[in-house]
A and B are shown apart, each in its own frame.
Chain A
């Protein structure tokens, strides 16, 4: 086994433990956790037998497994960016409502 394989496997497993230990918002997170377990299994397999990704890539009409992983990474990145953007917008709205409540509480009326 290569050193890089040891490092990568340690990294994904550590992340898995970390994710499984956090238990906020049970139901929504449960699916994320299941998805991540599947991801870890696939990742460990791909790390141990990197050439097999090329086989999968060939099924899909891609030359190298590396390219396939790269495409998947780009898609995942765009998805993450957009969902982060939307979450930020949502937070901004809540923050605006909070600031509005504060502003309305402190309204000043002119003395006529």
Chain B
């Protein structure tokens, strides 16, 4: 791969993931030197496990939500000397390292600012549970910005982006609505975006940690209100 891994920062938001965070970070660290784990006010020892596994650790004093954790991680990473490429990676072990690498290769071609993982294109159609699949597809096609950009999977936790996106990123939805906010920001800031097929590993653990589908209602509602808030 023609990417200088020392300029890469992987951002891992984590909330009560002490069981798996160690392995996830050790796995990431086998390729990337710089991993920052944002401990979102966990009640277990997520932060200590992540630190021992070799990650930089930033701990929210209180639980704020995944969107806020991603924003914190990006703000931490973008002030590190030499940081040029950033990736968000869920802490529950549902992403594959090789997908991040191929997304970085895609970014390094230089014609896009951000690469987003998608479960729904490419040869490897992942084993997304049917109902979840239906709802995620509906969400992607119902979100105006997502449709305009031709994205098929707005709620994928895997994103790889360069300096311009990291510098401008300003997520204001603290909870799970940040994924659609991310897409809206891509649209508003005219970042060039591409999708890359990725596989999601639905383990019992990641399914148990995943957000309930009913949360989609909150996400849609937050989307409507977003435009009405001062930032």
Interface residues of A (CB under 8 A from B): 85-86, 89-90, 92-93, 95-96, 99-100, 102-104, 106-110, 112
Contacts and interface: CB of A to CB of B under 8 A. Distances in A.
Contact of B62 (A90, A99, A110): A99
A96 B174 contact: yes
Interface string B50-66: 01101111111110110
Contact of A96 (B47, B59, B64): B64
B151 to A, nearest CB: 25
A104 B56 contact: no
B230 interface: yes
A107 B230 contact: no
User: Chain A contact residues: over half helix, strand or loop, or mixed?
Assistant: helix
Nearest to B53: A110
Nearest to A89: B229
A110 B61 contact: no
A9 to B, nearest CB: 37
B58 A107 contact: yes
Given A89-B229, A90-B230, A100 B60 contact: yes
B93 to A, nearest CB: 20
B103 interface: no
Given A89-B229, A100-B72, 18 more contacts: A85-B225, A90-B230, A92-B174, A93-B172, A96-B64, A96-B68, A99-B68, A100-B64, A100-B68, A100-B71, A100-B75, A103-B61, A104-B72, A106-B58, A107-B58, A108-B56, A110-B52, A110-B54
Nearest to A100: B72
B228 interface: yes
Contacts of B59: 103, 106, 108
A90 B225 CA distance: 11
A104 B51 CA distance: 15
Contact of A104 (B54, B64, B68, B75): B75
B38 interface: yes
Given A86-B225, A92-B174, A93-B174, A99 B64 contact: yes
